């Protein structure tokens, strides 16, 4: 009986240390994954190098961009995004063109990453109903009307059948 109790207690302590091991890995050097937002923004995801978990504390980031013609932008501060933990966005749009972007972190630990980014104007969403494409507007009105009429016809047919059977 005592062996069983000691064995269970030892297994519990061992499990506690194994589970806590990943939390001990937090801290230390950070890694920056830099990408474009598909238009004129620069985004950065920050993780710890040791365990690749998201950095939950505030990270101080900025970027500097250099174009092929030598034009320089920055340093531009980056801010935490509401889209997720350890996700940062540029405060200022990057001008259209090809850029070599260097992102620098100063807190919680220093880190630097440089990548090439092509900045493009955002694509405007086409309006579903436009002068060039009036068919979409016709379908948007006609199809629901036809479906409603069919549903009413079926409902009246079922009601008529029930009243005849009674």
pLDDT of 127-160, one tens digit each? 555 556 666 666 667 777 788 888 888 877 787 7
Q: What is the mean pLDDT of residues 117-132?
A: 67
Does the pLDDT value for residue 38 go beyond 80? no
pLDDT of 2-33, one tens digit each? 766 445 555 554 554 555 544 455 678 888 88
CB contact at 8 A, 59 and 46? yes
pLDDT of 77-103, one tens digit each? 988 887 777 888 888 888 888 889 999
- For residues 9 and 19, give the distance between their C-alpha atoms in angstroms, rounded to a whole number: 15
Name the burial class of residue 99, with classes exposed (0-12), middle (13-18) and buried (19+) by CB atoms within 10 angstroms of its CB: buried
pLDDT value for 22: 47
Sheet holding 111-119, edge to edge: 30-36, 42-48, 87-90, 72-80, 60-67, 97-107, 111-119
pTM score, two decimals?
0.56
- Residue of 35, 93, 99 lying closest to 66 (CA atoms): 99
- For residues 75 and 66, give the distance between their C-alpha atoms in angstroms, rounded to a whole number: 11
């Amino acid at each position: 009986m005592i062996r069983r109790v000691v064995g269970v207690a030892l297994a519990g302590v061992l499990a506690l240390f194994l589970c806590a091991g990943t939390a001990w890995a937090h801290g230390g050097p950070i890694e920056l994954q830099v990408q474009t937002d598909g238009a004129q923004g620069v985004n950065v995801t920050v993780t710890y190098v040791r365990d690749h978990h998201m950095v939950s504390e505030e990270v101080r980031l900025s970027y500097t961009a250099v174009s092929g013609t030598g034009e320089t932008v920055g340093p531009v501060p980056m801010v935490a995004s509401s889209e997720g933990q350890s996700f940062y966005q540029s405060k200022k749009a990057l001008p259209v063109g090809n850029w070599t972007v260097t992102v620098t972190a100063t807190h919680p630990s220093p880190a630097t990453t440089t990548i090439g980014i092509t900045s493009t104007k955002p694509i405007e969403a086409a309006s579903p109903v436009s002068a060039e494409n009036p068919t979409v507007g016709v379908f948007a009105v006609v199809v629901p009307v036809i479906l409603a009429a069919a549903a009413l016809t079926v409902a009246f047919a079922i009601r008529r059948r029930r009243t005849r059977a009674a």
